[in-house]
Amino acid sequence: MRNHLIAAATLVAAVSAPIAAQAQNTVGVAGSGTGTVMVDNGTVGIAADQRPAFRQYIVQERVPNYTISDRVVVGAILPESGITFYDVPQSFGATPYRYTVVNGETVLVEPRSRRIVQVVD
């Protein structure tokens, strides 16, 4: 009986290990208020200390503001057409994401899925 219990516990541990590892790859928010940090699979978007300069860059480039009916939140999927995505300059760090301005919010977007990964505040 004891051997069956040990075997069952070992099986549960072996099966749950990959699930626990996958749980680490989620999009989330750490902190609250002005100290919010966005996390996505361990990849950092625009760092907090670079956000003012990035916003200034957006203004200088005169990036158009696109309006959609949905809320602009991390995880939202942007429409397939009608929105242009722009490369993030190297001076703000290498990133696989693109940026655009939607409903007055600058966002980083995963280009293939059009999923918002960071709202740059």
Predicted confidence (pLDDT) per residue in 45-78, tens digit? 898 899 999 999 999 999 999 999 999 999 999 9
Model-level pTM greater than 0.95?
no
- For residue 5, the Cα-to-chain-centroid distance in whole angstroms is 42
pLDDT at 10: 54
Residue 21 lies in a domain: no
* In the chain, % of residues over pLDDT 90: 52
Q: Which residue has the higher pLDDT, 83 or 42?
A: 83
Q: What is the pLDDT of residues 69-91, one digit of tens each?
A: 999 999 999 999 999 999 999 99
For residue 27, list its beta bridge partners. Answer: 40
Specify if 49 maps to a domain: yes
CATH number of the domain to which 84 belongs: 3.10.450
Phi, psi of 94 (to 5 degrees): -70, 130
Task: Report how many domains make up the chain.
Answer: 1
Domain that holds residue 72: 29-120
In a domain, 19, yes or no: no
